[in-house]
Amino acid sequence: MEIILKQDIPSLGSKDDLIEVKSGYARNYLIPKGMATEASVSAKKVLAENIKQRAHKEEKIRTEAEAIAKKLEGTKLTLGAKTSSTGKIFGSVNTIQIAESLNEKGFEIDRKHIFIKEDQVKEVGSYVAEIKLHKEVTVNIDFEVVAE
């Protein structure tokens, strides 16, 4: 039986995939739980139109993310932190401070999209943060932690 998935199912596929499963599995499990619908002719047409519209929107979002990535490419941040005499930071530098510093420079980037390559930044020095603007667009930003 041919079905259209309404959500991601790890063993079968991702949302809006058109797949073939056994009819009992589809009728008794997937369709009643709301995980899939039967792939009728009209449902296939609606699916094709939805995919076409989503592709157009995704392309627009990706081009905007690439434009922001080009602006961010040469950016270098300097973050101040209270330190001991040996150069160790009281606490640690995290994505919140990086997001605030980027907001001061005019980039509105959510801290959830920022990933620091090291586990924790607990010493003065230079580090690299990765910013995911889109699932296909990432940019690396250098930041330096200095003593206040």
Global pTM reads 0.65
Domain 2-63: state its class. Answer: alpha beta
Going by pLDDT thresholds of 50, 70 and 90, the confidence category of residue 14 is: confident
Question: Domain map of the chain by residue range?
Answer: 2-63, 69-147
Distances (CA, A) of 45 to 9, 18, 27, 39, 49: 22, 12, 21, 10, 6
Question: What mean pLDDT is reported for the chain?
Answer: 90
Query: Tokens standing for 63?
Result: 């081009």
Going by pLDDT thresholds of 50, 70 and 90, the confidence category of residue 123 is: confident
User: pLDDT higher for 111 or 87?
Assistant: 111
Going by pLDDT thresholds of 50, 70 and 90, the confidence category of residue 89 is: confident
- pLDDT of residue 67 exceeding 80: yes
The fold adopted by the segment(s) 69-147 is Ribosomal Protein L9; domain 2 (3.10.430)
